[in-house]
Structures are given as C-alpha cells and as structure tokens.
Amino acid sequence: MKKKCIISLLVLVGAVIILAAFAVKLNMVTPYEYLKQDYLNENDDNKVIPSELLFQRDNFDGENILLFYINNNGNFCSAILKKNFLSYSVLTISSEVSLDNNSYIYSQYGSDPQNGLCWGLIKDKNIKNVLIDNKQCECVEIKDYGFRLFWSVVHYDDQNPPAFKKIYSN
C-alpha cells in the first residue's frame, strides 16, 4: 500500500513539473510567434505567412490580443488571439489590405457572429481621426511605413452596417 502511494505521488509530481514546463514555454512564446507557427503548421502550399509585426494590443477588448502585421505578400492583416492556460488560440485573421486601399476591413470574431473589428489604414495627413458608429477609433502611427492604423470593436448586422466617418483637422 505504501509503495502505491509513493508511485502515485511521483506521478503527480511529474505531471505538475510537465505542466509547469508548458506554462514557462508559453510565456516565452509571444502571440505573434504563435501566429507564425500556426501558419507554418498548415498543410497549404500557397499559405500567406506573417513576416513582420507592426503593432500588438493586449486586452484590446477586455480579454483578447490584437495583432497587426505584414504578410509575405507585402499586405497588411490583423489577427485576434485568445490566451488560454497553456497556449493561444486564433479567433480570426482578417483579409489582406494593400497600402493603396482606402477603405476599412470588418472581421467577425468570438462566439457572437455580430461582434467584430473594423480597421484600416490612414495615409492622409489631414485626417485627424476616424469614427465608426460615432465612436472614436483607436489609432497608432506606424512610422516606418508612413501611415496610421485605426480600429474599433463594433456590433454589426446586415441591416445596419457600421457607419464610417473621417474627421479632418482644421
């Protein structure tokens, strides 16, 4: 009986050590590195792979991670990841936007099909900000590329798409 208790205790200690090692490994992998690895694990010969991280916002909606990056086609994308106990999960990856694009992208994510992220690029220096549904978007300047990214979490339905408005400086 005593031998079984010792063996059970050793198995339990071993399991705790393995879980701790996974947790340490997760903390060493950034969300962007996880996203790149997730792409590389796909069995698609024509895959588009993230090549440069532009911006990361943790807890952008209260719980998830927002990444903006350039892919190997030279286009801009966003991804939303959720941090799990031992890993990340990719909730959504947006369509590609080229630097010539003047519109915005809508990406649905999460369990509610009407929750999403609207985002785009601002190249015009005269645009002060962007409103979506009368809510000021968050903006960040990407100096190396000469534009700003804007984004906002929105509630979208086919009958009432998000209202998009550019605010120009005086």
Measured distance CA(152)–CA(117) in Å, rounded: 6
Q: Residue 25: its pLDDT value, please? A: 60
Q: Residue 44: its pLDDT value, please? A: 65
Q: Residue 140: its pLDDT value, please? A: 95
pLDDT of 82 higher than 90: yes
Q: Residue 46: its pLDDT value, please? A: 65
User: How far from 22 is each of 28, 34, 87, 126, 131, CA to CA, in Å?
Assistant: 10, 14, 9, 48, 42
The mean of the pLDDT values for the chain is: 84
Q: What percent of the chain stands above pLDDT 70?
A: 89
At 153 the three-state DSSP class reads strand
Q: What digits encode the pLDDT tens for the residues 17-52?
A: 777 666 656 567 899 999 988 877 776 666 678 889
Q: What percent of the chain stands above pLDDT 90?
A: 34
Measured distance CA(153)–CA(115) in Å, rounded: 7
Listed residue (56, 49, 47, 154) closest to 105, CA to CA = 154
With 0-12 CB in 10 A as exposed, 13-18 as middle and 19+ as buried, what is 151? Answer: buried
User: Which tokens hold the place of 141?
Assistant: 């300047």
As a whole number, mean pLDDT of residues 96-103 equals 80
Report pTM: 0.80
Higher pLDDT, residue 131 or 2: 131
Chain mean position to CA 168 = 28
pLDDT of 95 higher than 70: yes
Q: What digits encode the pLDDT tens for the residues 119-167?
A: 999 989 899 999 998 999 999 999 998 999 999 998 877 777 788 888 8
Measured distance CA(116)–CA(60) in Å, rounded: 12
pLDDT of 70 higher than 80: yes
Q: Residue 43: its pLDDT value, please? A: 62
